[in-house]
Amino acid sequence: MAKSAQEYNYDFRILKAVMHVNELQKEILSSKIINYFEGDLSGKTIAIWGLAFKPNTDDIREAPALTIISRLLNKGAHIKVYDPEAMENVKGIFNSRITYCDNEYDCIENAEALAVITEWNEFRAPDFDKMKSIMKAPVIFDGRNIYDVNSTRNKGFYYDSIGR
């Protein structure tokens, strides 16, 4: 729609507003992570589950993960990622600046925090005990609200989600 509006020189203000809000949404999760670490991510390892724009695809166009990874890298974080489909596409953007993992548990090993960005089914019911034992700190930032707040916190995790 935005492209068509531009082609016809139409000022589609409501669409522009929606697109602006969507861009701001991409920064919310990274801001939560940055604030949790008081702005200093130097030497911190942040694990990311999900790179694709949506589950069951390798499409990374407009994917929030790209903005989040860039912001965290700029703050000095070491980034480890896992996505069942989209890692090859992301390698073309970040190359060796981030670590690509074979599965979700390799990704969180020794991580100070996990950010869940794409709601793949395999991320919906992880082994929280295993996660807690292999992470450096039991910290989860859930960008898709796939976990129950109270249940996750009762398992001993610091848990922050979007809008709740």
The confidence band for 18, taking pLDDT boundaries of 50, 70 and 90, is low
Has residue 19 got a pLDDT over 70?
no
8 A C-beta contact, residue 29 and residue 162? yes
> pTM of the predicted model, to two decimals?
0.89
> Which pLDDT score is estimated for 20?
56
Has residue 10 got a pLDDT over 90?
no
> Which pLDDT score is estimated for 9?
78
pLDDT in tens, 126-152: 999 999 999 999 999 999 999 999 999
The full DSSP string for 44-93 is -EEEEE--SSSTT----TT-HHHHHHHHHHHTT-EEEEE-TTTHHHHHHH
CA distances from 78 to 19, 68, 112 (A): 29, 12, 10
Has residue 75 got a pLDDT over 70?
yes
Has residue 62 got a pLDDT over 90?
no
Q: Which fold has domain 13-161?
A: Rossmann fold (3.40.50)
Has residue 15 got a pLDDT over 80?
no
Tokens representing 56?
């069951």
**Three-state SS across 83-116?**
CCCCHHHHHHHHHHHCEECCCHHHHHCCCCEEEE
